[in-house]
Amino acid sequence: TDQSWPGEIFLIYACATMKDIIYREELEYLRQRHPKLRVTITLSKEESPDWTGSRGFVTKELILSAVPDIAARRVHLCGPPPMMDAVRSLLAEIGLPAEQVKTELFLSPAPRRRVEAAEPATAVSVPEQAAQAPVCTFARSGKSAPLPPDKTVLEASEDVGVNIDNSCREGYCGVCKTKLLAGQVTMAVEDALDENDKAQNIILACQAKSTGDVTVEA
Q: Is the pLDDT of residue 80 over 80?
A: no
pLDDT tens, residue by residue, 60-70: 999 999 999 99
Supply the pTM of this predicted model. Answer: 0.53
Q: Which of residues 122 and 98 earns the better pLDDT score?
A: 98
Residue 120: inside a domain: no
Work out the average pLDDT over 22-47.
Answer: 93
pLDDT score at 180: 97
Domain of residue 149 covers: 128-216
Work out the average pLDDT over 111-135.
Answer: 52
Please, are residues 192 and 204 in contact by the beta-carbon 8 Å criterion?
yes
Residue 114: inside a domain: no
Q: Is the pLDDT of residue 150 over 80?
A: yes
Residue 58 vs residues 4, 65, 86, 91: alpha-carbon distances, Å: 29, 11, 9, 11
pLDDT tens, residue by residue, 135-146: 999 999 999 999
pLDDT score at 193: 87
**Alpha-carbon span 208 to 193, nearest angstrom:** 12
Q: Flag the least confident range among 62-71, 107-116, 184-193.
A: 107-116
pLDDT score at 32: 93
Q: Is the pLDDT of residue 108 over 50?
A: no
Q: How many structural domains compose the chain? A: 2
| CATH assignment of the domain containing 99 | 3.40.50.80
Q: Do 26 and 93 fall within a single domain?
A: yes
Q: What is the DSSP letter of 70?
A: G
Q: Do 72 and 147 fall within a single domain?
A: no
Residue 17: inside a domain: yes
Q: What confidence tier does 111 reach under pLDDT thresholds 50, 70, 90?
A: very low
Q: Do 66 and 140 fall within a single domain?
A: no
